[in-house]
Amino acid sequence: MSDLERPSSFPKEPGNISGGTPRSNTGHRILKVGLVLLVAVLLLMGVLWLTKRKPVTEIYQHSASAKLPPTAPWTFAVSGDSRNCGDVVVPTIAADVSKHAPQFYWHLGDFRFIALVDEDMQCGPVHEPQRPSYQYEWKDMQALLTHEKREWKKVQEQLAYEKHAWEDFTQNQVRAFDGNKIPVFLGIGNHEMILHRDHEDFIRAFKDRLNPDTQLAETGKINTYYHWTVGGVDFINLDNAGAGVNLKKTNLAFDSGQLKWFQDQLARDGNNADVTTVVVGMHAALPYSISFSHSMNESKEGTDRGTKAYQALWDWQVQTHKHAYVLASHSHYYMENIFNTPHWKGKGEVLPGWIVGSAGAHRNPLPVPGPDTPGWKNAKDARTNVYGYLLGTVNPEGRSDGSIKFEFHEVKLEVVPSDLAARFQPGFVAWCFQKNTDCADSDQHCEKSTQASYNYPAGIAALQCR
């Protein structure tokens, strides 16, 4: 462009300011190209830096509508209750489950004890060196669990521990699956709600593992109950951890809004030809299971709303002729066919159900017959004093109808990775497998009525790891 054609407001080329020789067009183009390349390099370096710094929890997100061949077999893994010894057990599960190439791992809640310092955090100073020391009144468990009755100083200590405990769970349990790029979905347990009045802290801490994109697209907000769909199977994670809207802290129940959402989601799945199966998971088992005394039956609201959810799922299965399965933890053992009880069997409405609270928590005796439960012998399989996970295989053994075969995979002391064991004080890993229990060593069918109760607080206090 000549000076005659250049608008008066358009600056002249630098070479003409003092009347010197104008810069050649070639030189000008070289300068522009150089600047563009420099900006591109800087942008690329910025992107690489941000990618490197991106939290691991945001990397391995599973699509809410992942596409798999509709008839091909594929797997997923589930367990819950990883407090106490979870930093030992969950990474061992992650190593073992990788052999099956699961689409994801689903944790059903109770990540850390919270009310007391987890034993693996006491005995693993290599990976957890900066936790403040706390002095607890072992004799007064109720005071530890009810923060209104505790001194403010202890409340502050507990809040600090809780924050650190969730960080420990993320670093030493959730991220154990990242090496094999196995996505992790999280449920919520009642121990997550200790010292909480609502679920906002939980959502802030773990939202990246709650399928947030789909939640925001469908409801405009993130809840602790949500769903995701893989290969024609809709996985529905429910929240009965307590402390919900209009619920008391001790009520393991669904609030009315969640119950309606669940019923609406079942309706959507019923009308969706691409969905052949529903798997419903939660922390505490739905009412009238074999684990009656440690389930949603613990409160009237839990019993009433849990029964409505069970009935809705049963009716959905009958009306749609699709498959339905129910998973829970909360009780620290493994059990199959948990709804084979007089209540549901008498109505002819026994849903296939499992309890798999075996990811590191202090293990419980199996329930014995009582006025409300037939006892563990009515289960198809029942084991305690074990750690492990439930492996679900969709379309097993040549089937192509969306049915699922569930198998319990136990993890034993001898399969704990050596580099993992080295992070803990000598003898602690063996303690987890041998002493973190109410039962005698290697007794997988101990019953509460025939076993002396384990002195749990004293047992923790006896650990000389710090």
Name the β-bridge partners of 405. Answer: 393
Mean pLDDT of 238-262: 79
The tokens for 44 are: 């690329």
Residue among 300, 195, 288, 309 nearest 252 (CA)? 300
pLDDT category at 23 given cuts 50, 70, 90 is very low
Residue 178 scores a pLDDT above 50: yes
- Mean residue pLDDT of the chain comes to 81
**Which residues, including other chains, have CB under 8 Å from residue 108's CB and lie 6 or more apart?**
78, 79, 80, 81, 187, 189, 281, 282, 283, 327, 328, 329, 330, 356, 357
**Which residues, including other chains, have CB under 8 Å from residue 358's CB and lie 6 or more apart?**
79, 80, 81, 329, 332, 333, 334, 386, 387, 388, 389
pLDDT digits (tens, 9 = 90+) for 265-318: 999 999 999 999 999 999 999 999 999 989 999 999 999 999 999 999 999 999
Helices (H), 256-353: 256-271, 300-320, 342-346
Name the β-bridge partners of 335. Answer: 355, 382
The CA-based angle 241-363-431, given to 5 degrees, is 125
Q: Cβ(143)–Cβ(136) under 8 Å?
A: no
CATH classification number, 61-461, choose in 3.40.50.150, 1.20.1600.10, 3.60.21.10, 3.40.1000.10: 3.60.21.10
- State the burial class of residue 454 (Cβ atoms within 10 Å of its Cβ: 0-12, 13-18, 19+): middle
pLDDT digits (tens, 9 = 90+) for 211-226: 999 999 999 999 999 9
Per domain, the residue ranges of the chain are 14-48, 61-461
pLDDT digits (tens, 9 = 90+) for 334-379: 999 999 999 999 999 999 999 999 999 999 999 998 887 889 999 9
pLDDT category at 159 given cuts 50, 70, 90 is low
CA–CA dist 375, 372 (Å, integer): 9
Residue 184 phi/psi, 5° resolution? -125, 130
Higher pLDDT, 109 or 200: 109
